Structure 1
Amino acid sequence: MSGSTPRQVPVAVVGVGALVPGATDAAGYWRVVTGGRDLITEVPASRWRVEDHYDPDPAAPDKTYARRGAFLPEVDFDPMAYGVPPANLPATDTSQLLALMVADQVLRDAGGTSGIDRDRTGVVLGAAALELLPHMYGRSQRPAWLAGLRESGLDEAEAQAVCDRIAARFEPWRESTFPGLLGNVVAGRIANRFDLHGVNHTTDAACASSLAALSTAVGELSLRRADLVISGGVDTGNDIGMFLCFSKTPALSPSGDCRPFAEAADGTMLGEAVVMYALKRLSDAERDGDRIHAVIRGIGTSSDGRSTAIYAPLPEGQERALRRAYEEAGYPPETVELVEAHGTGTKAGDTAELAALNAVFGASGRPDGQWCAIGSVKSQIGHTKCAAGAAGLLKAVMALHHKVLPPTVKVERPNPAAAAPHGPFYVNTQARPWVRPAGHPRRAAVSSFGFGGSNFHVTLEEYAPPTVPTPSSGTHAGTPARPAPKNTGRPALRHRTASSELVLFAAASPSALEERLPEDGRPLAALARESHAAFSPTTRVRLAVVATDTDDLRGKYAQALAHIRRRPEASFSAPSGIRYAYGEPAPGRIGFLFPGQGSQYVGMGAELAMLAPAAQAVWDRLGSIRFDGRPLHRAVFPPPAFTEEE
Structure 2
Amino acid sequence: MSEYDDRVAVVGLAGRFPGADSVPELWRLLRDGVDAVHDYTEAELRQLGIAPGLLDDPALVRSGGVLPGGALDGIAGFDADLFGFDAPDAALLDPQHRLFLESAWEALEDAGCDPRRYDGDVGVFTGISTNRYFLFHLLGNPAASDGRPDDWEAQLATRPGADYLPAQVAYRLGLRGPAMAVQTACSSSLTAVCVAAQSLLDYACDLAVAGGASVSLPRHRHTPEGLVSPDGRCRAFDAAAAGTGYSTGAAAVVLKRYADVDPDRDRVHAVLRGWAVNNDGAHRAGFEAPGADGQAAVIAEALARAAVSPHEVGYLEAHGSATVVGDAIELSALHQVWRTAGAAPAGSCALGTVKANIGNLDAASGIAGLVAAVRAVAEGTVPAHVQFHEPHPELGIETGPFAVPRTLRPWPHDGSRLAGVSSFGLGGSNAHVVLEQAARPAPASTAGWHLLPLSAHSPAALAEACRRLAEHLETAGPGTHLADLAYTLATGRRVLPYRAAIAAHEPAEAAAALRRAAAGPQRPPLPAAAGPELHAAAESWLRGEDTDWTSYLKNRPGRVCTLPAYPFRRRRHWIDPPAHRAADRGGPA
The match for 1:213 is 192
> CA contact under 8 A between 1:370 and 1:419: conserved in structure 2?
no
> CA contact under 8 A between 2:64 and 2:218: conserved in structure 1?
no
Q: Is 1:336 aligned with 2:331?
A: no
Aligned residues: 448
> CA contact under 8 A between 1:418 and 1:427: conserved in structure 2?
no
> CA contact under 8 A between 2:314 and 2:412: conserved in structure 1?
no
The match for 2:430 is 455
Alpha carbons of structure 1 residues 85 and 170: separation in structure 2 relative to 1, 3 Å: closer
Alpha carbons of structure 1 residues 310 and 524: separation in structure 2 relative to 1, 3 Å: farther
Residue deviations 1:552-572, cap 9 Å, x none?
Answer: xxxxxxxxxxxxxxxxxxxxx
Q: Is 1:40 aligned with 2:37?
A: yes
**1: distance between equivalents of 2:192 and 2:321?**
20
The match for 2:374 is 397
Amino acid at match of 1:223: D
The match for 2:390 is 413
Choose from 251, 268, 271 the match for 1:292: 268
- Equivalences for 1:71-470 in 2 at 5 Å? 71-73=66-68, 74-75=73-74, 76-113=77-114, 117=118, 120-135=121-136, 138-139=139-140, 167-168=141-142, 172=146, 178-238=157-217, 240=219, 243=220, 250-286=226-262, 289-306=265-282, 307-416=284-393, 420-434=397-411, 436-438=413-415, 441-464=416-439
**2: distance between equivalents of 1:300 and 1:490?**
35
C-alpha deviation, 1:120, in angstroms: 1.4
> CA contact under 8 A between 1:298 and 1:460: conserved in structure 2?
yes
**2: distance between equivalents of 1:7 and 1:332?**
20
Amino acid at match of 2:35: D
**1: distance between equivalents of 2:344 and 2:64?**
41
Q: Is 1:52 aligned with 2:56?
A: no
State the secondary structure of the residue aligned to 2:320: coil
Residue deviations 1:437-478, cap 9 Å, x none?
Answer: 14xx1000000001111111111100115xxxxxxxxxxxxx
Q: Which runs of 5+ in 1 are unaligned?
A: 58-63, 140-166, 466-487, 492-517, 536-646
Choose from 6, 15, 28 the match for 2:12: 15
> CA contact under 8 A between 1:227 and 1:280: conserved in structure 2?
yes
> CA contact under 8 A between 2:302 and 2:433: conserved in structure 1?
yes
Q: Percent identity?
A: 31
**2: distance between equivalents of 1:341 and 1:424?**
14
State the secondary structure of the residue aligned to 1:21: coil
The match for 1:529 is 475
State the secondary structure of the residue aligned to 1:391: helix
Residue deviations 1:534-586, cap 9 Å, x none?
Answer: 69xxxxxxxxxxxxxxxxxxxxxxxxxxxxxxxxxxxxxxxxxxxxxxxxxxx
> CA contact under 8 A between 2:473 and 2:508: conserved in structure 1?
no
Alpha carbons of structure 1 residues 65 and 226: separation in structure 2 relative to 1, 3 Å: same
**2: distance between equivalents of 1:384 and 1:422?**
30
Amino acid at match of 1:454: S
State the secondary structure of the residue aligned to 1:233: strand
Alpha carbons of structure 1 residues 236 and 331: separation in structure 2 relative to 1, 3 Å: same
**2: distance between equivalents of 1:305 and 1:116?**
44
Choose from 62, 69, 79 the match for 1:67: 62
**2: distance between equivalents of 1:226 and 1:348?**
40
Alpha carbons of structure 1 residues 326 and 88: separation in structure 2 relative to 1, 3 Å: same
Alpha carbons of structure 1 residues 97 and 367: separation in structure 2 relative to 1, 3 Å: closer
**1: distance between equivalents of 2:344 and 2:95?**
50
Residue deviations 1:592-612, cap 9 Å, x none?
Answer: xxxxxxxxxxxxxxxxxxxxx
Residue deviations 1:417-439, cap 9 Å, x none?
Answer: 7664451100012222226514x
C-alpha deviation, 1:525, in angstroms: 8.0
> CA contact under 8 A between 1:7 and 1:328: conserved in structure 2?
no
Q: CA RMSD in A?
A: 3.4
C-alpha deviation, 1:42, in angstroms: 2.0
TM-score (norm 1): 0.63
Residue deviations 1:379-436, cap 9 Å, x none?
Answer: 1111100000000000000111111111211211123576644511000122222265
TM-score (norm 2): 0.69
> CA contact under 8 A between 1:406 and 1:428: conserved in structure 2?
yes
C-alpha deviation, 1:256, in angstroms: 4.3
**2: distance between equivalents of 1:41 and 1:11?**
36
Q: Which runs of 5+ in 2 are unaligned?
A: 445-463, 479-506, 510-589
**1: distance between equivalents of 2:143 and 2:382?**
48
> CA contact under 8 A between 2:225 and 2:243: conserved in structure 1?
no
C-alpha deviation, 1:37, in angstroms: 1.0
Choose from 18, 28, 33 the match for 1:31: 28
Amino acid at match of 1:289: R
- Equivalences for 1:576-587 in 2 at 5 Å? none
C-alpha deviation, 1:86, in angstroms: 1.8
> CA contact under 8 A between 2:420 and 2:433: conserved in structure 1?
yes
The match for 2:555 is none
> CA contact under 8 A between 1:261 and 1:375: conserved in structure 2?
no
Q: Which has the larger radius of gyration?
A: 1
C-alpha deviation, 1:521, in angstroms: 9.9
**2: distance between equivalents of 1:415 and 1:520?**
51
**1: distance between equivalents of 2:136 and 2:3?**
47
Alpha carbons of structure 1 residues 308 and 7: separation in structure 2 relative to 1, 3 Å: farther
Residue deviations 1:294-321, cap 9 Å, x none?
Answer: 0001112221111221101111111111
The match for 2:529 is none
Alpha carbons of structure 1 residues 180 and 287: separation in structure 2 relative to 1, 3 Å: farther
> CA contact under 8 A between 1:90 and 1:171: conserved in structure 2?
no
**2: distance between equivalents of 1:320 and 1:69?**
33
State the secondary structure of the residue aligned to 2:295: helix
**1: distance between equivalents of 2:423 and 2:35?**
21
Alpha carbons of structure 1 residues 129 and 250: separation in structure 2 relative to 1, 3 Å: same
> CA contact under 8 A between 1:96 and 1:180: conserved in structure 2?
no
C-alpha deviation, 1:268, in angstroms: 0.9
**1: distance between equivalents of 2:471 and 2:345?**
39
**1: distance between equivalents of 2:508 and 2:263?**
37
- Equivalences for 1:581-620 in 2 at 5 Å? none
**2: distance between equivalents of 1:108 and 1:298?**
25
State the secondary structure of the residue aligned to 2:251: strand
The match for 1:631 is none
Alpha carbons of structure 1 residues 36 and 216: separation in structure 2 relative to 1, 3 Å: same
> CA contact under 8 A between 1:291 and 1:489: conserved in structure 2?
no
